[in-house]
Amino acid sequence: MTIIHLSFGVATTIIVYFAAKAIHRKVSWLHPIIVCAAVLMSMLLIGGIPLEDYKAGADLLSLFLGPATIALGVPIYKHREHIKDNFKAVMLSITCGSIVGVGSVAVIMFIFSGAHEIAMSMLPKSVSSPIAVEIAKSLGAVPELAAVFTVFTGLVGALAGTAFLRKVGIKDEVSLGLALGTAAHGFGTAKCLSDSEKQGSFSGLAMGLMGVITSVLFAVMFVFM
């Protein structure tokens, strides 16, 4: 691994992402992650660049995911009194969201006779990718598929979640934050934070609790499977 490989992955990812953000400001429905992924994959394919050479540097950026996630605790702390006042409702809504998120996939796959392996990989789609991958492994599913379904779910939630909820009359910031954090994990939380700190604080809380509650739910299911 050379310094060239390291700098290439980091610099390319950052430049492409900021370009994607600029495009997003002009074309709001085009999510930066979609543009960034499409451009980077095209560059690697057209340029014949080995994925390992790109990952050597790009993986360094993943080190910042931990601090970025922990930083969500700041808005949560700032709105702790409001969260405390509504904690029972928050827990109930996230628990129901977890059950519906898992149950809806099971029902849809049963109705359309979906392949068992795909169904198992899709079940944890509403939690963050690291948790979804571990759940998929415990279910004997395909971790890579679980990651794909999780990212896709997050993107759909970030792109259309807020607009859909407002369309059906849900405009309260707490409700919007809880809904997107529960259904669209990190992508939804990022969208909420861009709209308002209060909305983002409840979304970040929902994302964290969703991971815990869903993991417990699967643990119970695993015992009786």
Whether pLDDT at 117 is above 90: no
- Between CA 158 and CA 191 the distance in angstroms is 6
E-strand stretches of 38-115: none
User: Residue 69 corresponds to which amino acid?
Assistant: T
Model pLDDT, residue 223: 63
Confidence of residue 182 (pLDDT cuts 50, 70, 90): very high
**Domain enclosing residue 19, as ranges:** 1-49
When pLDDT is averaged across residues 31-47 and rounded to a whole number, the result is: 86
What is each CA distance from 169 to 77, 133, 153, 166, 176, in whole angstroms?
28, 34, 22, 5, 11
Same domain, 31 and 81: no
Q: Are 121 and 142 in contact (CB under 8 A)?
A: yes
Whether pLDDT at 215 is above 60: yes
Model pLDDT, residue 180: 93
Tell me which of 188 and 2 has the higher pLDDT.
188
Model pLDDT, residue 5: 59
Q: For 126-163, write each residue's pLDDT tens digit.
A: 888 888 888 888 888 888 888 889 988 998 888 888 88
DSSP 142: -
Domain membership of residue 56 (yes or no) is no
Whether pLDDT at 7 is above 60: yes
Pair of tokens at residue 208: 């964290």
User: Residue 102 corresponds to which amino acid?
Assistant: V
When pLDDT is averaged across residues 106-128 and rounded to a whole number, the result is: 85
Q: For 86-99, write each residue's pLDDT tens digit.
A: 889 899 999 999 99
Domain membership of residue 55 (yes or no) is no
DSSP 160: I
Same domain, 82 and 192: yes
What average pLDDT does the structure give for the chain? 85
Q: For 49-86, write each residue's pLDDT tens digit.
A: 887 777 777 777 777 777 777 788 888 888 889 888 88
Pair of tokens at residue 35: 């543009």
- Between CA 86 and CA 112 the distance in angstroms is 39
**Phi/psi of residue 17, nearest 5 degrees:** -65, -45
Query: What is the count of structural domains for the chain?
Result: 2
Same domain, 98 and 24: no
Confidence of residue 115 (pLDDT cuts 50, 70, 90): confident
Confidence of residue 6 (pLDDT cuts 50, 70, 90): low
Model pLDDT, residue 3: 60
- Between CA 150 and CA 133 the distance in angstroms is 9
C-alpha 50 chain-centroid distance? 27
Domain membership of residue 20 (yes or no) is yes
- Between CA 81 and CA 90 the distance in angstroms is 13
| Residue % of the chain over a pLDDT of 90 | 18
Model pLDDT, residue 202: 93
Same domain, 127 and 23: no
Same domain, 41 and 117: no
Same domain, 24 and 77: no
Nearest alpha carbon to residue 176 among 153, 151, 196: 196
| Residue % of the chain over a pLDDT of 70 | 96
Nearest alpha carbon to residue 63 among 13, 4, 117: 13
